[in-house]
Structure 1
Amino acid sequence: MFAFAVSAFFLLLFGAGVLRDRRRFANAVHLGLAVTFLGLGLLAAVEDLPSGLVESLLVLILLVLGLGPVVLAVLLCVNGVKMVRREGRRPANLLSLLAGLGILGTFGLTAVAVLTRSRVLGVVAVTLLLVLGYVSFLFVCFVGYAFLYGRMRLRRDAGFVVVLGSGLIGGRRVPPLLASRLDRGREVYERLAARGTDVPLLVTSGGQGPDEELPESHAMADYLVERGFPEDRIRREDRSRSTEENLRFSKELMDAERPGAGCVVVTNDFHAFRAALMARKAGVDGQVVGSPTAAYYWPSATIREFAAVFLEYRVVNLTVCAGLVALGCLGLAVTG
């Protein structure tokens, strides 16, 4: 009963947080804690079921907890190899492979500690499992809430649709990833335009990189105009070199054109929730929506986004991790 009460408490915090501002990582944590305590409450209630059913459920839970992480690690390794083959060996493309190898390495070390009955290895393995458990909990919270955020109803009062840039091919051509954002941005624009009398403006946001022949925003605008989009409804933000600058400079443009108007920001689905967190920090009154991404690209991209959010709250997260490591060292000292 206690677990259900705690779950209800965190669920109330989650609901209040969403009503206050959807773009808060605390919403993800509150939802994760609500689900966790709900699961603990349901697990405690299992003992009231018939004995045969209880045993079956416990076996199922043990299989999921035991084999689930191993299966996930193998899938991440397979995905990592595919990423390297299709996208090259850039560090960002190695994330799913490294995550999979890290999980397998942690479980391998745990198995060696059990087999050798090594006190030192045992404490190290437990410490790693605690840190992995904490990071995994936050990652599940991030992915779960990002999924929900991406399916929230589109706001009705947006005066702008802002499409974030992502680089050009050959210095001037729009790549498929960016084309997906632009197509999604046009779809959002048309939906907003059909709702009310105040037709929005579409902002293409992206400056010129050192290997690009023109600013990304100009290539993005050309892509839309070539496909029949009205050029007079486009505004170009051509100074930005990062997502933070995309949002900040686009806000300046929007404030100058239509002070106080809200917006819908368009990026890829794996980037939407982090972009929403950044928009909130930049003071942008905007909802962020995502465009589809190739399935093989999603795991590494999502891990990269989570890592950036994790480090954004580095003081809290690294303090917790350091505390878990200190707890492991204390355990080693006590058992020694």
Structure 2
Amino acid sequence: MFAYALAALFLVLFGIGVLRDRRRFSNAVYLGLAVVFLTLALLVLVDDTTGPAHPVLKWATVALLLVPVVGACALPFLLLSNGVKMIRREGRSPANLLSFLAGLGILGLVALLITAVASGSRTLAIAGVTLTLIVGYVSFLFFCFIAYAFLYGRLQPRKDLDYVVVLGCGLTGGDRVPPLLASRLERGRRIYESQRDRGKRPLLLVSGGKGSDEKLPESHAMAAYLTAKGVPAGDILLEDRSRTTEENLRYSAELMSAGPSPDYRCVIVTNNFHAFRAALTARATGVDGQVVGSPTAAYFWPSATLREFAAIFLAHRRVNLTVVGVLAALGIGAWLLS
């Protein structure tokens, strides 16, 4: 009953957090803790349930709990496969290697634990347990991120808008809109047109400056793409100074605040893998708007999601690195005392 009570408590905190502001990572953590304690409660149920319904309930619960176990066993091989596909299609940049390296890391940890058991080495055992605790902490946060990002992407933004903000990304060949950015622009255009159909007249604010390898600011290429699709030039507002997501949002907020209504209503468009981090950044920069995601090629999603999680993890590095440091220190202390 205690595990059920804790699961209910964190579920209530999650609900309150979402009602207060969807754009908080604490919401993701509350949801993760609710799932953890509910899982513990189900494990107790499997062990202790009695009565005529016990066999069916027991095996149904076991089957449910086996799903994440099977998924965890398959995960490193799926990551390796995706990593190979990313390298073939996108090249060997550090960002494109993330899923491959993550798969190797998981297999490396498993190999370390097996070697520690087989050799009977206390040093390897302590190292394996310490790394497992660190990986467990990071994996818990990653689970929280994935689960809440999935839910956040299905929450509906405001219906009446003054601005539809589309965040830029790198141009192909320095001057052409790539498929990733075209997906964002198409989602933004659909939202803009749905507002027009309802009698509203929002502005499409395209945000993106000129990178060192680009021939023109991203927002200029984005505006050209939209006008070619039939969007009137007068309905497009350009923000062409930004280099990062934070600058995208900060400079866009300046333009929106300087408009006819300082109390603007907006929605921000990016790719689905980037939506939750963009929402966290929007909250941090004071932008009054939710974020919606556009479709992304399936093969691109794992590496991109790992990159987004790494950015959020480091954005909260004071807490996260402290926890990792404490776990590492406990492992070192155990080794010194062994």
Give yes or no for TM over 0.5. Answer: yes
Q: Which residue of 1 aligns with 2:213?
A: 211
Q: Which amino acid aligns with 1:77?
A: L
What is the aligned partner in structure 2 of residue 29 from structure 1? 29
Percent of aligned pairs with the same residue?
62
**Aligned-partner Cα distance in 2 for 1:105–1:221:** 47
For 1:59 and 1:19, locate their aligned partners in 2 and report how far apart those are by CA, in whole Å.
34
Distance across 2 between alignment mates of 1:23 and 1:148: 12
**Structure 2 Cα separation of the partners of residues 261 and 324 of structure 1:** 46
Distance (Å, rounded) in 2 between the aligned partners of 1:192 and 1:92: 36
Cα distance change on mapping 1:170 and 1:154 into 2, 3 Å: same
Tell me which residue corresponds to 1:262.
265
Determine helix, strand or coil for the equivalent of 2:293. strand
Give the structure 1 partner of residue 104 of structure 2: 101
- Pairwise CA distance, 1:55: 7.8
**Residue of 279, 298, 302 corresponding to 1:299:** 302
Q: Secondary structure of the equivalent of 1:162?
A: strand
Q: Give the aligned partner of residue 48 of structure 1.
A: 49
- CA gap 1:332/1:49 in 2 versus in 1, 3 angstroms: farther
TM-aligned CA distance change 1:54 to 1:236, over 3 Å: closer
Q: Is 1:118 aligned to residue 103 of structure 2?
A: no
> Which consecutive segments of 4 or more residues in structure 1 shift more than 3 A?
49-68
Q: Report the CA distance shift for 1:104/1:313 in structure 2 as closer, same or farther (over 3 A).
A: same
SS at match of 2:170: coil
TM-score (structure 1 length as normaliser): 0.95
Gaps of 5+ in 2: none
CA distance in 2, matches of 1:136, 1:192: 40
Offset of 1:52 from its aligned partner?
5.7
SS in 2 for 1:288: strand
User: Which one of the candidate residues 316, 327, 332 is aligned to 2:330?
Assistant: 327
Structure 1 portions without partners, runs of 5+ = none
Q: For the structure 1 residues 67 and 332, does the alpha-carbon distance in structure 2 shift closer, same or farther, using more than 3 Å as the test?
A: farther
Q: 5 Å matches for 1:309-324?
A: 309-324=312-327
Map of 1:226 onto structure 2:
228
Matched-pair contact (CA < 8 Å) for 2:127–2:331: yes
Greater mean alpha carbon deviation, residues 34-43 or residues 95-104: 34-43
| CA distance in structure 2 between the aligned counterparts of 1:62 and 1:164, rounded to whole angstroms | 39
Whole-angstrom distance in 1 between the partners of 2:192 and 2:65: 49
Q: In 2, are the aligned partners of 1:70 and 1:104 still within 8 Å (CA)?
A: no
Q: How does 1:231-250 map to 2 (within 5 A)?
A: 231-250=233-252
CA contact (8 A) 2:161 2:200 kept: no
1:14 aligns with 2:17: no
| TM-score normalized with structure 2 length | 0.94
In 1, Cα distance between the equivalents of 2:221 and 2:185? 11
Q: CA RMSD in A?
A: 1.8
Match of 1:84 among 79, 83, 87: 87
- Aligned partners of 1:115 and 1:65: how far apart in 2? 26
Instruction: Give the letter for the 1:31 counterpart.
Output: L
* Matched residue type, 2:288: D
Aligned mates of 2:205, 2:183 — CA distance in 1? 15
Evaluate the alpha carbon distance shift between residue 316 and residue 111 of structure 1 in structure 2; reply closer, same or farther with a 3 A threshold. Answer: same
Deviation digits for residues 216-238 of structure 1, max 9, x if unmatched?
A: 11110110111111211110111
**How far apart in 2 are the matches of 1:270 and 1:333?**
43
1:146-185 to 2 correspondences below 5 Å: 146-185=149-188
Q: Distance in 2 between matches of 1:62 and 1:37?
A: 13
Deviations 1:104-137 (A, max 9, x none): 0001100000111111100100011111111001
Change beyond 3 A, Cα 1:58–1:145: closer
Whether the 8 Å CA contact 2:203–2:237 is kept in 1: the answer is yes
Please say if residues 69 and 103 of structure 1, whose CA atoms lie closer than 8 Å, have aligned partners that are also in contact. Answer: no
Distance (whole Å) between structure 2 residues aligned to residue 269 and residue 67 of structure 1: 26
- Contact 1:240–1:249 (Cα < 8 Å) also in 2: yes
C-alpha distance 61-188 of structure 1, shift in aligned 2 (>3 A): closer
